[in-house]
Amino acid sequence: MQTYEPKKWRTDLIIFLDTDNPAYKNPHFFLNDLNCKLENKRKSPQDKPMCSLISYKTLATRNLPKIKKEFDYHFLLDKANIYSDEQVQLKEFYSLLNTNLLDYKYLDSILMAFKGYSYFKLAGYDYLIRSVMEDMVSN
């Protein structure tokens, strides 16, 4: 954490990680030196800068169904109203996402922002800078 910043700034480090990973449970885990904890959550704009952890499982570690790779895009646009609030309408749309985006290497880094959105909003953050560090805690 930086030692000085303008009075109205708060620069926090927020790290999404799999808390089931054995590295996280290691007492010598490098994030312990930064006082990074799951319970570190901003409660007011006056809180000092902190390092917060948010539990997140990557898509690769989830048990997601494998779907065939062929997909008729015209069928999707004819059948699904992606602007509808009804979940039934979105089934085909989500099928398309599962089919084509699970192989997108950086999807996890985008989904993390959605996972943390309610906390970001509650904590009053103005900006989010996203960075990807692959396998930082693996073997």
Measured distance CA(106)–CA(85) in Å, rounded:
27
* Average of per-residue pLDDT across 127-133: 77
How confident is the model at residue 97, as a pLDDT?
62
Q: What is the pLDDT of residues 95-128, one digit of tens each?
A: 666 666 666 667 777 778 777 888 888 888 888 8
How confident is the model at residue 124, as a pLDDT?
83
Q: From the centroid of its chain, how far is CA 48?
A: 23
Q: What is the pLDDT of residues 7-16, one digit of tens each?
A: 777 789 998 8
Measured distance CA(8)–CA(21) in Å, rounded:
36
Average pLDDT, the chain: 75
Measured distance CA(42)–CA(123) in Å, rounded:
6
Integer angstrom CA distances of residue 61 from 14, 20, 128: 21, 11, 25
How confident is the model at residue 115, as a pLDDT?
79
Selected residue with higher pLDDT from 67 and 54: 54
Percent pLDDT > 70 in the chain is 62
Measured distance CA(50)–CA(71) in Å, rounded:
45
How confident is the model at residue 51, as a pLDDT?
93
Task: State the pLDDT confidence band at 70, using cuts at 50, 70 and 90.
Answer: low
Task: State the pLDDT confidence band at 139, using cuts at 50, 70 and 90.
Answer: very low
Task: State the pLDDT confidence band at 35, using cuts at 50, 70 and 90.
Answer: very high
CA dihedral sign, ordered 34, 54, 10, 40: negative
